[in-house]
Amino acid sequence: METLKERKTITKKNEAIKISGAEAIIHCLLAEGVDLLYGYPGGAIMPVYDELYKFQDRLTHILTRHEQGATHAAQGYARVSEKVGVAMATSGPGATNLVTGLADAQIDSTPMVCITGQVPRHLLGSDAFQETDIIGISTPVTKWNYQITKASEIPEIIAKAFYIAKSGRPGPVLIDITKNAQFDEFEFSYKKCEAVRSYNPTPKPNMELIKAAGKLINEAKKPLIVWGQGVILGKAEKELKALVEKTGIPAAWTIMGASALETEHPLNVGMVGMHGNYGPNILTNECDVLIAIGMRFDDRVTGRLEDYARQAKVIHFEIDPAEINKNVHADIPVLGNSKETLSLLLPLVNSNSHEAWHNVFKEKYQIEFDTVIKKDIHPTKDGLTMGEVIEEINIATEHKAAIVTDVGQHQMIACRYAKFKETKSNITSGGLGTMGFALPAAIGAKMGAMDREVVAVIGDGGYQMTIQELGVIFQHNIPVKIVVLNNDHLGMVRQWQELFFDKRYASTVMVNPDFVKIAEGYHIEAKSVSERKDLKAAVQEMIASDKPYFLEVKVEKEDNVFPMIPSGAAVSEIRLK
């Protein structure tokens, strides 16, 4: 196969090489270290696919069964690795099918570059076949987007796309490339992008504010840390752990922050938010200093804002200036990359243990354990609970798996009960709550971390939104473990109907197919269990397999997830039942 490198050797030194825009795109991807991308071909992107064919020894293209799947797979890949996920699609419907994944990556700050084909420049604006204004459509859901209409723009713009996607607060970038720009030839050269003059990705930390933060932390009697994904994105797991261990401050996490500190760390006091743990939620409204690290005070975390941590002084460590004072006023805003700011803070804080304050968390945990956790994980009733399935997965994987979840009750239960030892182990759609995320994201996660066990935990509803991606798992023999927690309901919506809509169950009963047969149709080994006595062995067998494996667990149809902060309530109004 002829590559640019080889060609360089056959052309005379310094002789400029003219290549097509399409081939240039491949060289740009290779220069950015991309060896894997997800996508779906079509008319307007065919020149690039033609080059992908020629470069298949160096660049693997995975044909997902829907462009949405390509985006979520790219997201899953990015979330477990330190790489940028790449997805490709044709113009028109191919491009519009990317929108959900872009929106998901935007709100969950996932680095992703999407490349779409576009009708030739001379047809732009003419309602040509499969023309859609994907720049207009994707603007609100991208960190940056750009339409290339000349081949010569390709290297600079793609370099910029990768730089923007991964720098500062990461996010998705979409590059739309007209077909003429793919065909036209130009003199190719590539230079990585290292700065954009109007863009300041990582604000410099202000030492005065860090000192003020240190002082406040040292004076605090009842401090609470709440960290988010900013710790993972900033690669600040070690610094977080050092801070927590030195100061003895109880530390809680948002869904997106899960796994940055191991679940069983004695100072890890659990999850905040709507279905988070009782202690950290209720004690948010009792702490005297709230130390928020790389989190954005989403409404699912804060409940009613007017009654959120009003008694506390707030220190906000954050990379994105737009997040400061957006929802919660920060008494001390500390801008910068979390690794950098926490490192600067660390020598300024005193050693402490906060024992009495910890005991309050323990008491609250006991209450939650007695009323909720015990019957979730060690149920005595007949039907299987989602919680006990997660617990079996914990046991079988020794807390080492990356858990990819979809959206709904199973997601909340998985986030509550999954135990993590390693960072980047909780891959879920947090901000957008995208049903259909998990199956393709698990494909990406496995391909991004082949040495790790990847278990997808999915609801019977969301599974059917991207179920066709079983085709990818089968075709490429990707050994993901798929667990569908089947309650024959859109469980989370059913729960809200039960609690807040007088049990009017509008369109939440699912009439489901035979999931085992479907998996078997894709030649994936499959099993279904509905009784407790079979559960452990089934989970063990699944984990022991080195192939893709599908396990349906028929769980109780009408279980609810508790604790719960009803929407519009304060964190301190969290309900245990």
Partner 1 sequence: MENNQWFTISVYSENNVGLLNRISGIFLKRHINIESLNVSKSEIDNVSKFTIVIYTTDTWVHNIVGQIEKQIEVIKAFYHTDDETIYQESALFKIASDLLFDERQIQNIIKESNAQIVTVARDFFVLAKSGRRFEIDDMYEQLKPFGIMQFVRSGRISVTKDEMQISALLREFQYN
Ligand X SMILES: Cc1ncc(C[n+]2csc(CCOP(=O)(O)OP(=O)(O)O)c2C)c(N)n1
Q: Which of 431, 501, 428 is nearest to 459 (CA)?
A: 428
Catalytic residue (choose from 46, 54, 130, 573): 130
- Comparison of 400 and 503: residue with beta carbon closer to Mg ion: 503
492 binds ligand X (CB under 6 A): yes
Q: Which helix (H) or strand (E) holds 75?
A: helix 67-80
Catalytic residue (choose from 143, 179, 424, 554): 179
Window 84-123: contact mask with partner 1 (x via CB under 8 A): ----------------------------------------
Tell me the C-alpha distance between 267 and 261, whole Å: 9
CA atoms within 13 A on the CB side of 166: 20
Tokens 């009960």 found at:
417
Question: What's the residue count for the chain?
Answer: 577
Sign of CA dihedral 468, 470, 476, 481: positive
Residue of 20, 97, 110, 147 interacting with partner 1 (CB under 8 A) = 147
How are strands ordered across the β-sheet holding 525-529? 426-428, 402-405, 454-459, 481-486, 549-554, 525-529
Cβ proximity of 230 and 202 under 8 Å: no
Residue of 136, 266, 513, 521 interacting with partner 1 (CB under 8 A) = 136
For residue 505, with 0-12 CB atoms within 10 Å meaning exposed, 13-18 middle and 19 or more buried, which class applies? middle
Cα 1 to the center of its chain, rounded Å: 36
- Comparison of 11 and 325: residue with beta carbon closer to partner 1: 325
- Comparison of 104 and 460: residue with beta carbon closer to Mg ion: 460
As given in the structure block, the two tokens for residue 482 are 């798929």
Picked from ligand X, Mg ion, partner 1, none, the partner binding residue 537 (CB below 5 to 8 A depending on kind) is none
CA-based end-to-end distance of the chain: 64
Residue of 459, 483, 494, 543 interacting with Mg ion (CB under 5 A) = 459
Four-CA torsion 59, 60, 65, 71, nearest 10 degrees: -60
Sequence-distant (≥ 6) Cβ neighbours of residue 470 within 8 angstroms: 439, 518, 519, 522, 524, 550
Tell me the C-alpha distance between 154 and 338, whole Å: 33
Kindly identify the residues of this chain, within the stretch 469-488, that bind Mg ion according to CB under 5 A: 487
As given in the structure block, the two tokens for residue 159 are 């370099």
53 binds partner 1 (CB under 8 A): no
β-bridge partners, 212: none
Q: How far is the CB of 422 from ligand X (least distance, A)?
A: 25
Q: Angle 547-403-76 (CA atoms, 0-180°, nearest 5)? A: 85
Sequence-distant (≥ 6) Cβ neighbours of residue 345 within 8 angstroms: 210, 213, 214, 217, 243, 334
- Comparison of 252 and 535: residue with beta carbon closer to ligand X: 535
Residue of 69, 76, 223, 491 interacting with Mg ion (CB under 5 A) = 491
Catalytic residue (choose from 88, 112, 256, 492): 492
As given in the structure block, the two tokens for residue 54 are 């020629």
Q: How far is the CB of 322 from partner 1 (least distance, A)?
A: 4
Picked from ligand X, partner 1, Mg ion, none, the partner binding residue 14 (CB below 5 to 8 A depending on kind) is none
310 binds partner 1 (CB under 8 A): no
Q: How far is the CB of 363 from ligand X (least distance, A)?
A: 30
Picked from Mg ion, ligand X, partner 1, none, the partner binding residue 437 (CB below 5 to 8 A depending on kind) is none
Residue of 125, 321, 513, 521 interacting with partner 1 (CB under 8 A) = 321
Q: How far is the CB of 165 from partner 1 (least distance, A)?
A: 11
Tokens 């990705």 found at:
201
Residue of 61, 275, 313, 410 interacting with ligand X (CB under 6 A) = 410
Q: How far is the CB of 134 from partner 1 (least distance, A)?
A: 11
474 backbone dihedrals φ, ψ, rounded to 5°: -70, -50
Name the residue number minimizing CB distance to ligand X.
Answer: 459
Of 136-144, 288-296, 350-358, 568-576, the segment contacting partner 1 by CB under 8 A is: 136-144
- Comparison of 132 and 487: residue with beta carbon closer to ligand X: 487
> Is position 130 annotated as part of the catalytic site?
yes
As given in the structure block, the two tokens for residue 240 are 């977080």
Q: How far is the CB of 469 from ligand X (least distance, A)?
A: 15
Of 57-65, 146-154, 253-261, 433-441, the segment contacting ligand X by CB under 6 A is: 433-441
Indicate the SS3 state at residue 187. Answer: strand
Instruction: List residues with catalytic annotation.
Output: 67, 129-130, 179, 492
Binding-site ranges for partner 1 (CB under 8 A): 135-136, 139-140, 143-147, 164, 195-200, 320-326
Binding-site ranges for ligand X (CB under 6 A): 406-410, 433-436, 459-462, 485, 487, 489-493
